[in-house]
Amino acid sequence: MIRVLIFCTLFFLSPLSVVAETPEEKGLAIAVEDDKRDNGFGDFTAKMVMVLKNRQGEESRRDIRNKTLEVEGDGDKSLVIFDKPRDVKGTALLNFTHKTGNDDQWLFLPALKRVKRISSSNKSGSFMGSEFAYEDVTSQEVEKYTYKWIRDETLDGKECFVFERTPTYKNSGYTRQVVWLDKKEYRIYKIDFYDRKNALLKTQTNKDYKQYLDQYWQPNEMFMKNHQTGKSTVLTWSDYKFRTGLKDKSFNKNSLKRAR
């Protein structure tokens, strides 16, 4: 018994167990924990207002609604519906994200009443002319990146993990992203995006987090600044409703056609 105790004590005190976690393992552990905390929301609907600003400060506004369904064992299903500008009203995007491989995407064009399958392989394309790329707004899965913890740092008074994630999927617009995630509630406060030449391209800052269902934290505002063009986009979320009873059948081509 004593020998077992000694063995155990030695084992737990041994420096081996302390250094066992490499920065990569620590980064992955953070991402896994973050993902775990976001699991189980079921479904949600929300409104988004996107304000695009060019270098001269001229603004352009888009009103969008979002419906998302959590899919067990795979990426989320989502329906994005455009209300403004008026000439694209009724345009809707159906997206089945996958943990690995390309997403399945269909676009509904209301003037022609046409549903069009679209290629999703190039995730670096602009989302509705904004500074957000498709890969920035689709569901974030652990499998989509490799991770590396860099340091701990205080950002605006919040203790944060700072880690780097590198896309594992093809055709990303980024070599890497540096993420500031607060240690207490696992909320992303800042992301630096580095382009394919590894130069700083964009910075996303999230503000005004609110907690839903006593578990899920969502930012009310996402601000994306493009350092290379001077353009920026503010994405404001409102009217979050969780567990609204959305089902699998709310996300097919028929529901896309009547989404509006």
Shortest Å distance, C-beta 241 to other proteins: 15
d(CA 152, CA 166): 19
19-27, 28-36, 116-124, 161-169 -> range binding other proteins (CB under 8 A): 116-124
The nearer residue to other proteins, 176 or 231, going by C-beta atoms, is 231
Shortest Å distance, C-beta 222 to other proteins: 18
71-79, 186-194, 209-217, 247-255 -> range binding other proteins (CB under 8 A): 247-255
Determine if 151 is a binding residue for other proteins (CB under 8 A).
no
Place of tokens 């509006």: 260
- Angle (CA) 159 163 167, round 5°: 145
| Residue 137: its H or E element | helix 134-137
Rule CB under 8 A: choose which of 119, 184, 239, 245 binds other proteins: 119
d(CA 43, CA 35): 15
d(CA 133, CA 74): 21
Short-list 105, 160, 158, CA closest to 134: 105
- Binding to other proteins, residues 153-192 (CB under 8 A): 170-171, 173
Determine if 249 is a binding residue for other proteins (CB under 8 A).
yes
DSSP code per residue over 152-210: EEEETTEEEEEEEEEE-STT-S-SEEEEEEETTT--EEEEEEE-TTS-EEEEEEEEEEE
Total number of residues binding other proteins (CB under 8 A)? 38
Determine if 55 is a binding residue for other proteins (CB under 8 A).
no
Rg (CA), the chain: 21
Rule CB under 8 A: choose which of 28, 52, 81, 93 binds other proteins: 52
| Mask for 200-239, x = binds other proteins (CB under 8 A) | ----------------------------------------
| Residue 136: its H or E element | helix 134-137
The nearer residue to other proteins, 36 or 114, going by C-beta atoms, is 114
- Contacting residues toward other proteins, per CB under 8 A: 52, 54, 58, 60-61, 84-89, 102, 104, 112-122, 124-126, 129, 170-171, 173, 249, 252-255, 258, 260
